[in-house]
Amino acid sequence: QPPVARPAAPAPARNLTPYQRALVQARAEGKRVLLVFGARWCGWCPRQKQALRSPAVASLLGQRFVVLELDYDLHKNLVQHYR
């Protein structure tokens, strides 16, 4: 018998950007993606990062969101898209 055509396999996760991985994970888990932008030059960003990573906040956010922290200067395309 001739071989059965199979759908193309999804791209391996290693070929996806962190943003794309977050979207895939969120879809699989039935959650939304929370993009958190920070920058080295931002004075408040370390405090924001500390707050988001505290066990209580991280647990609460993790129930509904896949949280993705991104560098503002490295991801300006996403900054512009979601502005």
The pTM of this model reads 0.76
Give the bridge partners for 71, in sequence order: 38
Alpha-carbon span 49 to 51, nearest angstrom = 5
- The CA radius of gyration of the chain, in Å to the nearest whole number, is 17
pLDDT tens, position by position, 25-65: 999 999 999 999 999 999 999 999 999 999 999 999 999 99
3-state helix, strand, coil in the chain (%, to 5): 45, 15, 35
Q: What spatial distance separates the first Cα and last Cα of the chain, rounded to whole Å?
A: 55
pLDDT at 2 over 70: no
Are 62 and 31 a contacting pair, CB within 8 Å? no
Give residue 50's pLDDT: 95
pLDDT at 75 over 80: yes
